Amino acid sequence: MKIYGESNRSSGLHTPLLTLDDGRIHPGAWVSFRDPAVIDILAAESFDWVCIDGQHGGPEVSELQPLIEAAHVFSVPSIVRVPGHDMGTIGRVLDAGAGGIIFPTVEDAATATSLTAACRFPPRGKRSYGPTRRSPRYAKQIPGRPQEDTLCILMIETVDGLANLDKILATGPDGIFVGPYDLALSLGTTLEKLTSGGEDGILADIARRCTAAGVVPGIYAGELGLAEKMADLGYRFMPTASDTGLLAVAARTAVAAATRLADPLGVS
């Protein structure tokens, strides 16, 4: 599809895509800061993917494109958690080059169907074709090819979403992403009880149902210990670190070391 005035050249920068259904476990990094330099540092260390948190994190929609491109410079796939289900916002995030979208608080099949369609070009979906925002920096997309479609990942984080999980899975998203903090709140339990349920627990059941439906299960972990437990339950993609967490732990470690250094001098 030729766009009037379109350049015949591009930078050669490609859009790296995360392959969720390859049977591997994919550790990622969760990004809440709005500075592309943060993603430069994380992506350079070769996380499988980075997620830019547009719901509870700092970045505004207008700031997403340079954050996404910072990941792509290092060939690291970018995923964006959008703030909600607004179709205008979804379109802008897709046009900015995100390789996947995580949608918060999906609670029924009708919502799941609408969000999945928004991520896919016709005939598989209803995504609008807007190439001029990405061209000529990126190669032009070819609508209609499944490999051009952005990953659609739906969050299960409420009692209603859990109750309708099988119907949501039947709509054919690429992945399910469990939000354990909000799910624990919605269930009236604690995060510790929810994540310690083992093979007989709710989280293990969610992972099994996703896998049986051909949908890849993921979950927010944020640290390696919890990620290892979730991988044992069948989850295949999860952030094992976050920018805020890494900074806090490094700062705590540095302060503890400095305190030990000061103690021999009698400084409290």
Q: What DSSP letter does each residue of 106-118 carry, written as one string?
A: --SHHHHHHHHHH
Element holding 78 (H helix, E strand): strand 78-81
Does the annotation count 56 as an active-site position? yes
Element holding 163 (H helix, E strand): helix 159-163
> In angstroms, rounded to a whole number, what is the distance separating the alpha carbons of residues 201 and 176?
17
- Candidates 26, 86, 76; CA nearest to 52 is 76
Q: Considering 14, 56, 72, 85, which one is annotated as catalytic?
A: 56
Name the residues annotated as catalytic.
Answer: 56
